Chain A
Amino acid sequence: MAHAAHPRVGHVVPLPVLFAVLGTLLVMTFVTVAVSRLDFGRFNLWIALGIAVFKASLVLLFFMHLKYDKPFNAFVVIVSMALVMLFIAIAMTDATQYEPDRIPGYAPSIKTNPQ
């Protein structure tokens, strides 16, 4: 044991790492607010999601110790997130394919069959 009080299990994350992660998270929060004021059309959503995924990865890897953990724990998280993405992707395939006036006032605004 390098340190008398070092625990037998788990990993002690160094303080500079924790503060660097917080600093990056705060900067990225500022960036995501700033970027949302610019107009990139439909890419605004994907930029915002990309920044969110980056921030989430930092939290998972360092605050939640996944970088130092058993890989199986990371596997559990990645699989659950992949299943959520699969769920949304399959649900989205026909989300805009309904007739506009099937339920008056509550139907999708996108015309499925433009004349």
Chain B
Amino acid sequence: MSHESSPHLQHHFDTPAQQFDAGKLGIWLFLATEILLFGGLFCAYAIYRANHPEVFVYAHQFLDRVLGGTNTVILLCSSLTMAWAVRASQLGQRRLLIALLSLTLLGGFGFMGIKFVEYKAKWEHGLLPGTHFSHHEEREAEAAPPAAATPAPVSAASATDVKTTIKPAARGPSGTVRRDELERRDAARHGKRPSNVQIFFGIYFLMTGLHGLHVLAGMGAIAWILVRSIKGHFGPEYFTPVDFVGLYWHLVDLIWIFLFPLLYLIS
């Protein structure tokens, strides 16, 4: 093998091919650790779903299939633009590479934007893990129009009780509604709520949250190679960073492919 001097070949590798394969194996080993990391959460999911199937059936109806499905389509399309970007860098199509990396980054922003909308709705409805879970479809203040508190009808028995100095109100002040009435309305809309629904939201936020962090990390990496591609660092001779960032981005897509049906499409 003739040693043509490639500026990208590190001195401890014999050939660019050897350098590329070594780096690629390293990335795949890293991705394997990522699969194992998420594997722990999938295990938690499996155990809790086996033990509390009714919680998963009940709670999944609070996730928005349309938003989740839109995010799936966005991630799949951004995976295509990423794979195409790798191809463009291999073929030295610099302008196309910059455009495709920008599109991929845009897909990341779109995904996180929709994720933000979803998390905000969960937060507002009290669909939170652990002791923070306090779900009511309608908040007490919105449940009924404001009305003046009216004294309860006084029965003859209580009227004679001299110890009764404060009369109970039939209707709470300024549009509040009794908690059991709220629960009755929720049950009419979603079916009877099983106990421990917060378990589902603990798993939901951990899995989608860890996945969301990976999307953010991937967006950072894409921004980095976008800057480098604008500087003209990549071409048929050297496209390794584009290829490896692409592999990471596809893994993020891969995990979402499993998360979407497991969390949003329970029947």
Which A residues lie at the B interface, using CB under 8 A?
A: 3, 5-10, 12-13, 15, 18-19, 21-22, 25-26, 29, 32-33, 36-39, 44, 48-49, 51-52, 55-56, 59-60, 62-65, 69-70, 72-73, 76-77, 79-81, 83-84, 87-88, 91-92, 95-96, 105-106, 108-110
Contacts and interface: CB of A to CB of B under 8 A. Distances in A.
14 contacts: A10-B90, A13-B87, A15-B87, A19-B80, A26-B76, A48-B261, A59-B253, A60-B250, A63-B79, A70-B24, A81-B35, A95-B47, A95-B51, A96-B50
B16 A8 contact: yes
A22 B16 contact: no
Given A56-B258, A92-B46, A77 B32 contact: yes
Contact of A55 (B47, B84, B257): B257
5 nearest A-B pairs in the assembled complex, by CB-CB distance: A84-B39, A80-B32, A36-B265, A108-B51, A48-B261
Interface in B73-89: 73, 76-77, 79-80, 82-84, 87
B25 A72 contact: yes
Contacts of A44: 267
A88 B39 CA distance: 8
A109 B35 contact: no
Interface in B169-202: 195-196
A79 B33 CA distance: 11
A86 to B, nearest CB: 10
Interface residues of B, number: 60
Given A5-B236, A15-B87, A76-B28, 18 more contacts: A8-B237, A21-B80, A22-B77, A26-B73, A29-B260, A33-B65, A33-B69, A36-B261, A48-B265, A63-B80, A63-B246, A73-B25, A79-B32, A80-B32, A80-B35, A84-B38, A88-B39, A88-B42
B254 interface: yes
A99 to B, nearest CB: 12
A7 B260 CA distance: 37
A105 B91 contact: no
Contacts of B84: 15, 18
A105 to B, nearest CB: 7
A29 B73 CA distance: 8
Main secondary structure of the interface of A (DSSP, over half): helix
Contacts of B237: 7-8
B142 interface: no
